[in-house]
Amino acid sequence: MNKLKQPKLTLVGAGPGDPDLITLKGVRALQTADVVLYDALVHPDLLQHAPESAERVFVGKRPWQPTGPANRCEFAQTDINHLIVQYAHSHGHVVRLKGGDPFVFGRGFEELVFAEDCGVETAVVPGLSSSYSVPALAGIPLTCRGVSESFWVLTGTTKDHRLSADIRAAVQSTATLVILMGMKHLPEIVALLSDAGREKVPMAIIQNGSRADERMAMAPASAILGAVEGHKLTNPAIIVIGEVVRLHSEWPLAGITVSDAAVEALALISR
């Protein structure tokens, strides 16, 4: 055990991808790190904030990409939990750098509890969640007066790799829906919208949100699968469903009219 340094874990949210979107407190935590355990969605530039002496350990999960020798592997969560504790006791301050916010579908709380149970001091630095920051940066508000008064954030895939049952209830709502980790189940999501009579509801798929290589497709639910195929969109991507998508500057698409609610909302905004 390192007798000079108190074992400590700091969970840091790295934000949606753009390295400038990490918080100042997150940068300060990195600057005092002895070890950085980072995920696949973390921009590599963020690692430069850590001291040269700090160890940098990739522990990412990217099941949609083939396993390879360089930065492409999949760690079991239990392995990550144990690595955090081992490095904290052997090195001192461990910064666990996670994409988005560590407490929004990031399993950060599991890591926090495990570390505390093992006698490690803990701290949390929240990050910008991709659930709301990516649509905003792409020009889509999640709420807008006269269009949407609430939004749901859902995971598209449960721990057993199935579509979340919550989505079946969510598609009945007029709220904006933001689905993370749902691309694998996009055909099922579209089918649920169709069953609910919402084939015309606008959808947006945003890949690599906030990054230089961001790409997006927009279409009604009935046409979104074709749009995704045409744009060759894959994970990591965020699914946005709701009338707010019509407020994007590039909507309406050919042959698709803006809803009365959206027209009214735009008129209110322009006053």
Contacts 24+ apart (CB under 8 A), 61-69: 64/183, 64/184, 64/234, 64/235
CA 262 from chain center: how many Å?
27
Please tell me which residue in 39, 183, 203, 216 is annotated as part of the active site: 39
Q: Minimal CA–CA distance to 10: which of 26, 22, 59, 244?
A: 26
Active site annotation includes 61:
yes
Q: Which residues are within 8 A (CB) of 183 and not within 5 positions of it... i.e. 6 or more apart?
A: 64, 156, 205, 233, 234, 235, 237, 239
Q: 3-class SS at 185?
A: helix
CA 163 from chain center: how many Å?
17
Please tell me which residue in 25, 61, 166, 184 is annotated as part of the active site: 61
- Cis peptide bond prior to 252, omega within 30° of 0: yes
Distance of CA 207 to CAs 56, 95, 136, 199, 221, Å?
Answer: 26, 27, 14, 22, 17
Please tell me which residue in 34, 98, 101, 181 is annotated as part of the active site: 181
Rounded to the nearest 5 degrees, what angle is found at the Cα of 183, between the Cα atoms of 219 and 163?
Answer: 115
Amino acid symbol at 214 = E
Rounded Cα distance between 270 and 108, Å, is 41
Active site annotation includes 181:
yes
Q: Which two tokens stand for residue 179?
A: 């689905």
Active site residues: 39, 61, 181
